[in-house]
Amino acid sequence: MTAMSEMMAFVRETELLVQIQSRLAWDQDTVMPRGAAEQRGEEMAALAGVLHARRTDPRLGGWLDAARPEGEVEAANVRHLKRRWLRDTRVPAELAAELARATSIGRGVWAEARENEDVAAFLPTLSRIVKLRREEGEAIADGGTTAYEALLRDYEPGATEAGVAKLFDGMRPRIVALRDRLLGAPGAPTLNGNFPEAGQLSLSRETAERFGYDLNHGRIDLSAHPFSSGSAFDVRITTRVSEDPFNCLYSTIHEVGHATYERNIRPDFAFTPLGEGVSMGVHESQSRSFENQIGRSPAFCRFLFGRMTDIFGDIGVSDADAFSRAVNRVSSGFIRTEADEVHYNLHVMLRFDLERGLVSGGIAAEDIEEAWNSRFAADFGNAVDRPSNGLLQDVHWSEGLFGYFPTYALGNVYAGCLVAAMRRELPDLDSSLEAGDPSPATEWLKRNVQIHGGLREPGDTISHATGEDPGEGPLLDYLDEKFGALYGL
């Protein structure tokens, strides 16, 4: 065997163990009994120790030195593995295991604190996780790189803290200007009806399949915070049910975007570094385009109006156009996952600035709720009324995912570029969407983005699909055009 083939056989076993780790996390967030949280934390710590040992095995370093990759695929695998090797060998095994233990337990602590509206119960856990992630960021940072930037690159390779801040600063004025114009216009209608859980889940399942979700290789469960888990041949999603049926429906469509990305990657990439989404920004470009540019398009809303009335009867709006305005209603609400497209990036910018402060030490964990509430009032004009509408709404920090939030807005930027290119190639897309068939759009994304997995770097993935370098212009143009038309501006 060559060094390349020996290395890839070893990596395949490591990637299979990662899938087991993912399944344990799925179980914890869906069906695991609460009383098992500490045991699961120990299980996750033990598995993290095994994975860390494999990822830092000296043989891997030797294979990387000796490997002579042939062709684009082997070269891409070596590129990813070298980056991971350099990162993982800088993290002490004890720190990796303790992080796994703390974040596994942290999810349960967060869920209980959120249910009880009890920030104080969560803060000691948050403080511990911030400390551990700061240590990890400092360990993996290159010269001149901040701890936060090092963590950011775990989710978006090549990104810089300054670059993301500059992007957000450039986007904010135009988004705020559009928001202010929309909030000054006559309000959009809202739904009014009876939306039983069984009907919501039935419509969500139907819509998931319309968007290409393969239930032979996946399943839909309930969780406090919707998520997608797994890759290759076992890709699962969760959703949640509330009084607002759009919450369930669009959470499902969003997670289907993630799931189909993982499921549609070339089968020969499975259990290699290329067998997963290349970055969380590109991942979010799939889920956000599924949810917003396709799922909330006026054309698809015309189809959904009929299905909603079929299932729920009178829903309080009289026609498909009013329904489309209800789906795309702009309001300065508390919840990021329920935010309209105009406000969504402002939610992300808030979290980006706050988590930078936490990791740098500029904001102490005990002060984070006050910092959150003050920033929210300044950006959205409303006072946070309860923790589940503020600091405790997102699971991410309990899982140690610092650096993850910016990728949501990067995903919106990428989605703007992708859908602009898609519509140039598919001028009749709206007629398919109005008939309830998103497949021309989802197949375009599969063909141009999803099958390639991690073959290219994030920015190159978008450029290859669109023929242009990614930028915020297409997203901002799309928002102006769509919401200007819906609100008659």
* Rounded-to-10 torsion of CA 435, 236, 418, 181: 80
User: In 3D, which of 324, 313, 311 has the Cα closest to residue 202?
Assistant: 311
* 290 burial via Cβ count (<10 Å: 0-12, 13-18, 19+): buried
Given 15, 136, 255, 284, the catalytic residue: 255
- The b/e string for 348-375 (b: 16+ C-beta within 10 A; e otherwise) is bbbbbbbbbbbbeeebebeebbebbbeb
Burial letters for 85-123: b for 16+ Cβ neighbours within 10 Å, e otherwise? bebbbbbeeebbbbbbbbbbbbbbbbbebbeeeebeebb
Asked whether the beta carbons of 416 and 469 are under 8 A apart, the reply is: no
What is the SS3 assignment for 472?
coil
Q: Could you please report the per-residue DSSP string of 232-255?
A: TTEEEEEE---SSHHHHHHHHHHH
Is 399 catalytic? The answer is no
Distance CA 326, CA 340 (A): 11
DSSP 199: H
271 residue type, one letter: F
CA 75, chain centre distance (Å): 27
Dihedral, CA atoms, 120, 125, 128, 132, nearest 10 degrees?
-140
Tell me the three state secondary structure of residue 188: coil
> What DSSP designation does 190 have?
-
Q: Both ends of the chain: CA-CA distance in Å?
A: 66
Helix (H, G, I), strand (E, B) or coil at 66: helix
Please give the helix or strand (H or E) that residue 309 lies within, else none.
helix 298-312
- Could you say which DSSP state residue 187 is in? P
| Run of H or E including 100 | helix 93-116
Measuring CA to CA, which residue among 370, 280, 296, 362 is closest to residue 328? Answer: 296
Q: Report yes or no: 334 and 347 within 8 Å, Cβ to Cβ.
A: no
Q: Looking at this protein, which amino acid is placed at residue 182?
A: L
Q: What positions carry a catalytic annotation?
A: 255
